[in-house]
Structure 1
Amino acid sequence: MTGPQRPEPVFMLAPPRSYSTVCLALLAGHPGIYGFPELLLFPLTTVGELLTEGQRAPDLDRRYVEARQSGPLRALAQVHEGSQSDAAIDRARAWLHGHAGWPVTRLFDHLLAEVAPRIGLEKSPDTIGSDQAVAACLAAYPRARFLHLTRHPEATQRSMHRHWQDLTHFHSRRQVIVAAASTWYLGHSRTVRTLSALPAERWLRVTAENLLREPRTWLPRILDWLDLPYDDAVLTRMLHTERWEYAGRGESGRLLGGDAVFMYHPALRAVPDPGPVAFDPAWGLPAEMCRRMTELAELLGYRTADA
């Protein structure tokens, strides 16, 4: 279903640890936007692949796999029953198994239809995890709009280090450090390259630090881009990120579908000024990698130590 009954979706494009969960919760406070948890759509082909990810990649940390499946389960339980109780989650899991042959895009179409006429907003970091995933997104939703969310490269990578260090599929701190740098650089490079080929009205780039530090300045800019009405009461409502339907961890206390830190403490908090771009020498990153990340950060609007 397309047209007035089901607006085209908006995809928030950002690497992991980019404040994307809290920024999505901010936007989901608008009555015309439905913010989904992470649905992991585009690296996959079918719903069955989502259900068997742990079997197909046994080296992945079990907690990581369970967290990834939380988003689709929560979304289905919520749109079908208006509940994320343990029983509703179990029924959502059974529903997914009963539709294992569906393409993942058909699953998303189903969810979009359920929340229409609100605009569906989704933000899985996997969407920019590979050229194939981005291409699948563009092919499935050729009229979608894209919100490119950025976060300071040094702060993003420090956050990745903290949150990835205990995952069993990373075997050393060195592996975490290299993965963090590559994930930030390749994700944003891929996003810049993809969006540059689209009409300017189809995408908007927003610095997460700016949005979280000055939401009353930046939310109107995003809402104007989406052609959505607002007033002071709407903006005030949007600041209550703890009211997002997927804030918290559900009845079981084990559900995620976004940043675990936010799910534990979903109230909006200001973030510090990240300062100029620099990388900790203790990370041991090659000089060429640091140079390329610095150039990309400048393109994204971050200042360097020499600026």
Structure 2
Amino acid sequence: MTETVSAAGVPQGAEPVGAGHPDPLFILSPPRSFSTITLALLAGHPRIFGFPEMLVFANDTVGDLVGEDGTEAERFPPAYRKTRLSGVCRALAQVHEGEQTADAIARAEEWLRERPDWPMPRVLDHLLELVSPLIGVEKTPDTVATDESLDQCLRSYPNARYIHLTRHPVTTQRSMHSQNQQYLTHRKVRVVGAASSWYLSHRRIMRALGELPQRQWMRIRGEDLVNEPRLWLRRILDWLELDDDEAVLDRMVHPESWPFANNGPEGGLFGGDHKFFTAPELRPVPDPGPVEFDPEWDLPDEMYRRMAALARELGY
């Protein structure tokens, strides 16, 4: 029998799990760590709803996100703000209307502008309630960019589950160096910023998750998940106590089926890795090899030493 689903992908007639919604799952990682494809793989499970990047903990209120005098307006130029905003607008349009047309996206943005005083986690709660009984999964690299953002995530959802997603430091750095070159035009700034982002984000995640019960989090190397998806998806699903039969895994290994695995019906929408949206199919990645940093990066020896030590802790 075929299960009937709503426009948002929620089974019709399914009973919510208790009051409210199931506790969400957050993917925690620095940028360029396979987090978008990880999210898309998980979203293939019939009991999971994967959201694009929604900047839930990067701003205190909706007004900070969308207001002309908000923190996003202070930090980023208009074109980049529009790109960053498209994730939460896509999520609202899909869940509210079951589509991501230009009109639906405009209505989603207006919905946000009408609620400037809402704390950002209230927006996520609103969406989690609408997709319940599905488990909502979200990832935004900004969540681990500061202690304050990550602490707010853990305070807002103390019973959530967390995946600490890692990637080899050298391949992560190379990927970061090519990102946002139109905004970070100075190469040395990009190189130092990438190294600091990788190191500090992982230390921050390890500190925060180390204070939680072990049952609430697991660590996964992104390369392992992408290269052996069935093995690692089965481990994640066992941890989440969700079905992991072959039919479910067959569905999950097609990340291109995620409703957000594109730039929208009219183009120009994001909410994650731009490269993924262009070619969302699952592809293996080369073995990253040993931790050998590129000499031309010209970083301080102490930074190399600390990054190498952390890489060993993370299994590289």
- Could you tell me the TM-score, scaled by structure 2's length? 0.92
Amino acid at match of 2:98: G
Distance 2:79 2:284 in 1: 29
Tell me the distance in 1 between the aligned counterparts of 2:79 and 2:274.
12
Residues in 1 aligned to 2:46 and 2:237: alpha-carbon distance in whole angstroms: 11
Report the equivalent of 1:10: 25
The amino acid across from 2:169 in the alignment is P
Q: Secondary structure at the match of 2:179?
A: helix
Match of residue 166 from structure 1: 182
Structure 1 equivalent of residue 116 of structure 2: 100
Q: Hey, what's the Cα distance between the residues in 2 that align with 1:129 and 1:282?
A: 26
* C-alpha distance in structure 2 between counterparts of 1:37 and 1:65, whole Å: 15
1:36 matches 2:17: no
The CA distance in 2 between the partners of 1:299 and 1:63, in whole Å, is 38
Give 1:280's aligned residue: 294
Q: Partner of 2:154 in structure 1?
A: 138
Match of 1:219 in 2: 233
CA distance in 2, matches of 1:288, 1:274: 22
Matched, 1:25 2:59: no
Residue of 215, 221, 230 corresponding to 1:207: 221
Aligned to 1:129: 145
Matched position secondary structure for 2:293: coil
Q: Distance in 1 between matches of 2:170 and 2:69?
A: 31
SS of the aligned residue for 1:3 comes to coil
Q: Distance in 1 between matches of 2:95 and 2:252?
A: 20
The 10-residue stretch of structure 1 (140-149 or 44-53) with the greater mean CA deviation from structure 2: 44-53
The one of 78, 85, 89 aligned to 1:62 = 78
Q: Aligned AA for 2:189? A: Q
What CA distance in whole angstroms lies between the structure 2 residues aligned with 1:270 and 1:193? 31
Aligned position for 1:260: 274
Contact 2:63 2:70 in 1 (8 A): no
Moved over 3 A (4+): 1-5, 53-59
The yes-or-no answer on 1:242 pairing with 2:263 is: no
- The SS at the match of 2:285 is coil
Structure 1 length normalisation: TM-score? Answer: 0.94
Which residue does 1:186 correspond to in 2?
200
Whether the 8 Å CA contact 2:173–2:194 is kept in 1: the answer is yes
Residue 136 (structure 1) shift: 0.6
* Whole-angstrom CA distance in 1 between matches of 2:115 and 2:47: 29
Residue of structure 1 in register with 2:90 after alignment = 74
Per the TM alignment, residue 287 of structure 1 is displaced from its structure 2 partner at its CA by: 0.5
Indicate the residue corresponding to 1:197 in structure 2.
211
- State how far apart, in whole Å, the 2-side matches of 1:54 and 1:151 are: 36
CA distance in 2, matches of 1:115, 1:243: 18
SS at match of 1:253: coil
Provide the C-alpha distance between the structure 2 equivalents of 1:227 and 1:263, rounded to a whole number of angstroms.
29
**Gap change, CA 1:218 and 1:55, over 3 Å in 2:** same
Partner residue of 2:4? none
How many residues align? The count is 300
Q: Report deviation, 1:171.
A: 4.1
| One-letter amino acid of the counterpart of residue 182, structure 2 | D
Residue number in structure 2 paired with 1:45: 60
| 1:105-130 deviation line (CA, Å, top 9, x unaligned) | 11110000011001000000011110
CA contact (8 A) 1:77 1:91 kept: yes
Q: 2:101 — aligned with what?
A: 85
CA shift at 1:66, angstroms? 1.5
1:151 and 2:167 matched = yes
Q: CA deviation at 1:252?
A: 2.6
Alpha-carbon RMSD across the aligned residues, in angstroms, is 1.5
2-structure distance, mates of 1:280, 1:93: 43
